[in-house]
Amino acid sequence: ENIALDKEILLIENRQLQKALNQWRRRRKRGRAMGLLYHSNPSLAQFFSPAKMQSIRENLAASEAAKRDEQARKEDAKLQRTILKEQKEADIIQQRMEREAARQVTKQQKEMDKAARAAQRQIDKELRDEKKA
């Protein structure tokens, strides 16, 4: 019973906070100045034509679109840098693996050459021993 009451109180508080947040967001959008008022002589009557208002609204919308485009461009550039960095790291790892493989091949070749020389020395020694005997 007590838990249900606490839950109900929290739900009501949550709804009120959501409502206040939505109102605050709407107020922020609505409160942008359009730059139409003449601050030099505020006592005079000021009239604004609908065409001028529409033009200013279009300019504001265009600037907002430009901001969004710029943000998208920056995110795309960041993504491209990340992809390039990962590709470089993959290339470096691939080069390391290739160098290691080349080292292994060289090492095996040296071991085979060493074994071949040892076998040749053994054969030569046996031939010399046969000639002596």
pLDDT at 98 over 60: yes
Among candidate residues 56, 39, 40, the one with its CA nearest the CA of residue 48: 56
pLDDT at 101 over 90: yes
* pLDDT tens-digit map of 42-58: 666 667 788 888 888 89
pLDDT at 71 over 90: yes
- Cβ neighbours of residue 56 closer than 8 Å, sequence gap 6 or more: 34, 35, 36
From CA 67, how far away is CA 59, in angstroms rounded? 12
- What is the tally of helices (H) and strands (E) in the chain? 2, 0
Helix, strand, or coil (residue 2): helix
Contact 46, 36 (CB under 8 A): yes
From CA 105, how far away is CA 133, in angstroms rounded? 42
Q: How confident is the model at residue 27 (pLDDT cuts 50, 70, 90)?
A: confident
From CA 106, how far away is CA 34, in angstroms rounded? 75
pLDDT at 129 over 70: yes
Q: Give me 93's structure tokens.
A: 């790892």
